[in-house]
A and B are shown apart, each in its own frame.
Chain A
């Protein structure tokens, strides 16, 4: 049994949450052999949002009656990379996708100083699994 969940990414800057238009959002999954696979590449719209991305997950029953597939966890994970010239690149690892649930990943980009490149400055945020 497997299900489908969706992921949306919202990119903004500063505490005022000003949307960042035109940021490149790359979503990568991980295959069984450990290789990364490309799921989606999108550019954010005027609201700093991507279109919902459909991602395969374990079945919906896994969170209440697990049968041990996918390492016993009821979600799949992906990595999200967000890049925009003039901002430090940000990478999120372990983003969780649950069946029939929309996951909203907020991404706050930090502006760079003069002469700095977005690809050289990379922040990584890792989400650890629920302790259940």
Chain B
């Protein structure tokens, strides 16, 4: 495995709507983005292991969007949208939960990849939901 790491952005630009519709773009720090999405998608009262798994998926998905230049390569001036139909749920100005915030700071920069690949996996949060239901 070569020692190459994907670019971890300091900030991420989020489009507050579907990609092909007009909406505001806002730029937030990458950890702030992850904390916001995790607080918007899951409950902070879940088991720490379940929260951790979701955070890893959220980080990996966002890094994949940045790494593959998914939206810029299609001519858009943002890196990810706030809509769950396309990406992950981001709510501007929402509150974050202390335990999720601490966990994001702890595991930050870890991400999921396939063995032998550097590319962050476009992990889907709904897959994790299925796993939890079948456990």
Contact = CB atoms under 8 A, between A and B. Distances in A.
The judgment on whether A and B are partners is: yes
Interface of A: 7, 60, 62-64, 74-75, 90, 92, 95-96, 98-108, 125, 127-128, 130-132
B115 to A, nearest CB: 31
Interface in B67-123: 84, 89, 91-99, 101
Given A104-B98, A131-B84, A99 B91 contact: no
* Chain B contact surface mostly: loop
Given A104-B101, A131-B84, A131-B89, A75 B95 contact: no
21 contacts: A63-B45, A64-B45, A90-B93, A92-B95, A99-B45, A101-B45, A101-B98, A102-B99, A103-B95, A103-B96, A103-B97, A104-B95, A105-B95, A106-B93, A125-B91, A125-B92, A127-B94, A128-B91, A131-B89, A132-B42, A132-B43
Interface of B: 40-46, 84, 89, 91-99, 101, 129
A99 B43 CA distance: 11
A125 B97 contact: no
A74 B43 CA distance: 8
